Amino acid sequence: MMADPVGGYESNRLIIRVKPGVTFSKLLTGDWMLHSNIVPLNPQSDAIVSAMRHWKVMAIESALSVVPRNRALASQLGLDRSLRLSVPVGTNIPAMAAELAAFGSLIESAQPDGIGSIAGVPNDASFNLQWNMNNTGQTGGTTDADVDAPEAWDLHQGSASTVLAIIDTGVQADHPDLQGRVIPGIDTYQEGSLDSSDLHGHGSHCAGVAAATGNDGIGVAGVNWNTKILAIRCTSSGGGTTQTDTAEAVIYAVDNGADIISMSLQFSSNSAILSSAVAYAYDSGVLPIAAAGNIVGSIYPGAYDKCMAVAATTRFDQRWSSSNQGPQVDVAAPGEGVFSCWKLSGYNTQSGTSMATPHVSGLATLMLSYHPSLSPAQIESILKSTADDKGTPGYDQQFGHGRINARRALVEVAQVCPGNTNPDTQVDVDDLLRVINAWGVCSAGIGMCIADIAPAGPGDGMINVDDLLGVINGWGICP
């Protein structure tokens, strides 16, 4: 039951709307008495009073603390009949809502008081520089040439239940935008070393793109604000590494709890040990994601079948000039002039497929935190199918399946368990209420509303009885 965080609901109140003429008064015994000067009281009234006692209702008062100036219109819309029922913190509000909503002759509606936030645009001090997350043309680019991060954050900001391995130059664990979420790993370049700090800056930059804490008033926002970051250094202080050191890092990541592996690394030759390590990850249920490379040719580990390769785009939604191309490219993401974390608690602007890669790995953890049972194949398939097509229509060797779209990916993740409209892995009354609250036209467009579950796939742009039936038919624990 997801209560109190953004995207959930207040666990100490229920909002009901009574039929015209229905009121409540409290007796000295603490019980509530139901009154009606229009609707004839019936046996349901006693049942409602009993329900109030069962749910330990402490107060019933107007849901609004302000009085609408146009009282006639407010009355017509039922605002003057909207009441707030105060109950103990932690109450099972959806269950209470379902019970009271059943008294249809006296109670018009009963709904949780949902919690939201500002419309996805966080208050991080330098967020205006992050065209890659939200491109409004603020840096001279093309509007919406981004990954639709704010639109995704309206649905979910991630959770600490996922672990993203950053295999790179290390990660600064106490960086203001990463602190409290970095799990120290090892240094495979210096055998036996447990130092996973970042002497270079590249690894912290990638970690920031994927997972900087969002809406904390400082720095930048990563794709997933809450995932854990497993820091693994596999390079020298100058950024050099070997395929064996990288393979060892991949194996260490898998064996130490990683869910997704991010490798902003490039090798121009194949390697049996690195290929086997990547397969070890994939076959263990961990998806490796790597840079397509900044040089031409088959670049590893991205070119392996069991690893996703990410190309880089610009603020104009064009291919970054140095981004590798070829049949190994799976998807693309912003990679030119990306502003993110740096060593010594700093920030820096960098370009490369290195910067594109953590956009995808961060989104993969966001998807996984929404639906924890997703397999590597499912994550990869959804990332490809929901990408915004760029370049030549359909798949092409410059953009792959297109530039990733975080919002579309999350909406598609929900379809893996039809009817599950929030990240709790079960279809229940919460999902039923979410569909009811979203009733009507999907203003974001077809394929962009998480409650638009029918028909299967992108939906039809309407939240209606078909979606309600979809929830009912999918009722229960997600497979």
Strand order, beta sheet including 59-62: 59-62, 82-86, 9-18, 107-114
The pTM score is 0.77
- As annotated, the residues of the chain forming the CATH 3.40.50.200 domain(s) are 127-413
CA distances from 99 to 45, 92, 95, 169, 170 (A): 13, 11, 6, 55, 53
State the average pLDDT over residues 44-52: 85
For residue 224, the cross-strand partners are: none
- As annotated, the residues of the chain forming the CATH 1.10.1330 domain(s) are 417-477
Q: Look at residue 278 and tell me whether its pLDDT is greater than 60.
A: yes
The per-residue pLDDT of the chain, averaged, comes to: 90
User: What is the predicted pLDDT for the residue at 41?
Assistant: 65
Scan for tokens 């997704």, then name that residue: 260
Q: Other C-beta atoms within 10 Å of 56: how many? A: 11
Confidence of residue 459 (pLDDT cuts 50, 70, 90): confident
User: What is the predicted pLDDT for the residue at 120?
Assistant: 45
State the average pLDDT over residues 317-345: 97
User: What is the predicted pLDDT for the residue at 5?
Assistant: 45
By C-alpha distance, which of 320, 299, 310 is closest to 380? 310
- Report the percent of the chain where pLDDT is more than 90: 62
State the average pLDDT over residues 71-77: 84
Long-range CB pairs of 39-44, under 8 A, 24+ apart, other chains included: 39/105, 39/106, 42/105, 44/103, 44/105, 44/106
Q: Look at residue 151 and tell me whether its pLDDT is greater than 50.
A: yes
Q: Look at residue 264 and tell me whether its pLDDT is greater than 50.
A: yes
The answer to whether the beta carbons of residues 123 and 129 sit under 8 Å apart is no
Q: Domain 127-413 belongs to what topology? A: Rossmann fold (3.40.50)
Which tokens sit at 448?
């962009």
What lies within 8 Å, CB to CB, of 464 at 6+ separation is: 439, 440
Identify the weakest region by mean pLDDT among 109-123, 230-244, 271-285, 315-329. Answer: 109-123
Which tokens sit at 27?
């007796």
Round to the nearest angstrom and report the end-to-end CA distance of the chain.
18
Confidence of residue 153 (pLDDT cuts 50, 70, 90): very high
Omega cis (within 30) before 301: yes
Alpha helices in 239-375 (DSSP H): 243-255, 272-283, 353-370
Confidence of residue 7 (pLDDT cuts 50, 70, 90): very low
Q: Look at residue 9 and tell me whether its pLDDT is greater than 80.
A: no
3-state secondary structure of 49: helix
Please give the CATH architecture assigned to the domain spanning 417-477: Orthogonal Bundle (1.10)
User: What is the predicted pLDDT for the residue at 79?
Assistant: 84
User: What is the predicted pLDDT for the residue at 210?
Assistant: 98
Confidence of residue 42 (pLDDT cuts 50, 70, 90): low
Q: Look at residue 403 and tell me whether its pLDDT is greater than 50.
A: yes
Q: From the DSSP assignment, how many helices (H) and strands (E) are in the chain?
A: 12, 19
Active site residues: 168, 202, 354
Confidence of residue 385 (pLDDT cuts 50, 70, 90): very high
